[in-house]
Amino acid sequence: VQLQASGGGLVQAGGSLRLSCAASGRTLSSYAMSWFRQGPGKERDFVAAIDWSGSNIVYQHSVKGRFTISRDIAKDTTYLQMNSLKPEDTAVYYCAAGRYYGVGTSHYDYWGQGTQVTVSS
């Protein structure tokens, strides 16, 4: 399984970006999908997760109301719409897939390579 994250870039505070995570190698329709991020010198932190059905979604408190996770099963692609971006959102964003829905890195078996998001003030 390969996960390809894309959509990162440089944006001003208050702007928006949409990240995509495309799966290849096998279908991940029965897997939970998530986004994590890692800022400079920081640990990898949970951002958002969606279960296999799309019925259960959870967000990190600091992004709730600004970020939206979604998935297109037919395209085997997961998205993270990020609005009202802040400088503290600057990080490398990673998508991940796992059998079990959760907020910890240990729930996820497959990881993408990461995409850089930089928010300028």
pLDDT, tens digit, 9 for 90 and up, residues 31-89: 999 999 999 899 999 999 999 999 999 999 999 999 999 999 999 999 999 999 999 99
Ramachandran sector of residue 54 (left: φ over 0; alpha: ψ -120 to 50; beta: rest): left
What confidence score (pLDDT) does residue 26 get? 83
- Cβ atoms within 10 Å, residue 110: 17
CA atoms within 13 A on the CB side of 86: 7
Can you tell me the distance from the alpha carbon of 61 to that of 116, in angstroms, rounded to the nearest whole number?
21
What confidence score (pLDDT) does residue 22 get? 96
Residue 120 reports pLDDT greater than 90: yes
